[in-house]
Amino acid sequence: MTPAHVPLGSFELSDPEFWLRPREEREGAFLTLRREQPVSWSDEWEFEGSPFPKGPGYWSLASHEDVWHVSRNPQLFSSGRGVNIGDMPIEISEFFGSMIAMDDPKHFRLRSIVSKGFTPKEIARVEDYVRQKAAAVVDRLLEQFPERECDFVAEVAAPMPLQIICEMMGIPPEDEERVFRWTNVILGVGDPEYAGTFEELMMVAMEIYQYAQALGEDRLKNPKDDLTSIMMHAEVDGERLTAQEFGSFFILLVVAGNETTRTAVSHGMHLLTQHPDQRDLWWNNWDAHTRTAVDEIVRYATPVVHFRRTATEDTVVGGQKIEAGQKLVMWYCSANRDDTVFTDPYRFDITRTLQPAQVGFGAGGPHFCLGANLARREIAVMFDELRRRMPTIHTVGEPDYLQSAFINGIKRLRCAW
Ligand code: HEM
């Protein structure tokens, strides 16, 4: 892909329409920012129906260096005042975001509890399950689509991550459909197809929350071999999670573990279709390239487009004075195209050595994606099943993208084999 020429002054990152512009133009806009104004001021917009007042604006960080710096200095750049652009009352952002919207020591306490579910031992435990689920997805494709064509997102990319996180949490299969609908509403905010009113969003959140509380209480009484039981029984400094903390955690996990991985797998399939040389290289020499190929998919796709921090004191970022209380948005999508770090950044190259520089899972610091290794396994195993059993699978036409400044989502994408 070649970014278009998009001069300063011809775009606004806060404009929802910006996120509908062709990819080349959006890439071009961020390229212009990195070259000419790596730290730039963006005004916020008023959104119809939002119960919250219009925010005061934010600093947009486009360069890898600045995103890296802000992510790794949590004392100076707080998560506890919100991690998305718009401001919400702190209780609401903690309700939706749990520890992702907290600073240490609160964050550390919660992360210590949930990390127990993401130890290498736990990941190894779910590994067999990941393999079974990926195999079942492919079985279904082969059995139920004699015309050898279907929607890749609905049939391939979406089911697996959802089933894995539900399995880890101990959610029964008959409830998966509900969880899927909930996560779509939460992350689809901004896209007219999914996001209804703010009331609808809060209603969905309450539904998840009640569901989580019932599940948590059940596991407190009847512990099983799942993450919910581990979390409900874990103690840090003699304290257990409250039902409310568990409810928010549940929202964070089902949302964070689902759409992100689905997005990476969907982009991955499309990228491999557009770059048959890279696909042949990987699929013919699987073990040699899997580690780098998976991270290149995550870099190229950058499923999570941004997170935000708030300055706790006056400081300077990239030569720009930042005042205490001002918001800074880390545009991961731009940092992942920075040519001071990635040679020829618009080229999809499965042999790049990327770790730790690619920022698709965050740019380091206390909030670095807890599920990164699980997500890497899921992506690798899904493509392994596809390559072995459906080696001709490819996407057809262009993806139907989600309109969002937060998730680089794909709603629909035809595939054939
Ligand atoms: C390709 C898939 C994924 C991507 C691109 C992704 C991306 C991210 C990013 C960018 C962050 C914020 C990092 C920061 O602020 O420094 C994050 C945090 C997080 N992710 Fe992921 N993620 C993925 C998959 C998963 C999965 C599968 C899970 C769990 C099942 C998960 C659980 C979490 C949690 C719990 C956090 C919050 C960590 C904290 O605040 O300490 N993620 N992820």
Cβ atoms of 258 and 165 within 8 Å: the answer is yes
Q: Taking residues 273-288, what's their average pLDDT? A: 98
- In tens, the pLDDT along 86-145 reads 888 888 888 778 899 999 999 998 899 888 888 888 888 888 889 999 999 999 999 999
Number of the ligand 1 atom closest to the C-alpha atom of 102? 40
Taking CA atoms only, the protein residue closest to ligand 1 atom 40 is 100
Question: Is residue 209 one of the residues assigned to a domain?
Answer: yes
| CB < 8 Å & 24+ apart, contacts of 214-223 | 215/169, 215/170, 215/171, 215/250, 216/241, 216/243, 216/246, 216/247, 216/250, 217/243, 219/170
Distance CA 31, CA 15 (A): 18
Structure tokens at 150: 């279907």
Q: Which atom from ligand 1 is nearest to the alpha carbon of 98?
A: 40
Domain membership flag for residue 10: no
Within 10 A of 226 (CB to CB), how many other CB atoms are there?
Answer: 18
Mutate to test the pocket of ligand 1, among 73, 167, 227, 369 (most ligand atoms within 8 A of CB): 369
CA neighbor of 103 nearest in space, from 312, 294, 304, 271: 312
Which secondary-structure segment (H or E) carries 334? helix 332-335
> Taking the alpha carbons of 356, 360, 364, 368 in that order, is the dihedral positive or negative?
negative
Does residue 268 sit within a domain? yes
Residue nearest to atom 38 of ligand 1 (CA): 367
The mean per-residue pLDDT over the stretch 302-313 comes to 98
Q: Is residue 259 part of a domain?
A: yes
Which atom number of ligand 1 is nearest to the Cα of residue 301? 5
Average pLDDT of span 4-14: 96
The pLDDT-based confidence of 157 (bands split at 50, 70, 90) is very high
CA–CA gap between residue 166 and residue 150 (Å, rounded): 24
Residues 6+ apart with CB under 8 A from 179: 162, 166, 171, 208, 254
Which among 361, 374, 379 is the best mutation to test ligand 1's pocket, defined by most ligand atoms within 8 Å of the CB? 361
More confident residue, 22 or 258: 22
Report CA(148)–ligand 1 centroid distance (Å): 34
- Measured by CA distance, the residue closest to atom 17 of ligand 1 is 369
User: Mean of the pLDDT values across residues 13-32?
Assistant: 95
Domain total for the chain?
1
| pLDDT tens, position by position, 176-218 | 888 888 877 776 666 667 656 777 778 888 888 889 989 999 9
- Does the pLDDT value for residue 306 go beyond 60? yes
Residue 370 sits in a domain whose CATH number is 1.10.630.10
6 falls within a domain: no
CA distance 337 to 248: 33
Examine the pLDDT at 231 and tell me if it is beyond 90.
no
Name the residue at shortest CA distance from atom 36 of ligand 1.
369
Bridge partner list, 315:
322
Residue 273, classified by CB atoms within 10 Å of its CB into exposed (0-12), middle (13-18) or buried (19+), is: middle
pLDDT at 162: 85
Q: What is the pLDDT of residue 298?
A: 98
Residue 276 falls inside a structural domain: yes
Q: Answer whether residue 343 is part of any domain.
A: yes
| pLDDT the model gives residue 205 | 81
Residue 253's pLDDT band (cuts 50, 70, 90): confident
- Asked if residue 3 belongs to a domain, the reply is no
Q: Using one digit for the tens of pLDDT, what is the confidence trace for 324-345?
A: 999 999 999 999 999 999 999 9
Domain that holds residue 53: 16-416
Residue 386 has pLDDT above 60, yes or no: yes
Q: Number of H helices and number of E strands within the chain?
A: 16, 10
Residue nearest atom 31 of ligand 1, based on CA coordinates? 371
**What is the distance in A from the centroid of ligand 1 to the CA of 100?**
9
Q: Rounded CA gap, 407 and 417, in Å?
A: 28
For ligand 1, which residues put their CB under 6 angstroms from it?
A: 71, 99-100, 111, 165, 252-253, 256-257, 260-261, 264, 298, 303-304, 307, 360-362, 365, 367-371, 374-375
- pLDDT confidence of residue 238: 82
Give the pTM. 0.94
Average pLDDT of the segment spanning 364-377? 95
State in Å: Cα 145 to ligand 1 middle: 33
Whole-number pLDDT of residue 48? 66
Give me the sign of the Cα torsion angle 400, 401, 402, 408: positive
Query: In the prediction, which pLDDT does 89 show?
Result: 83
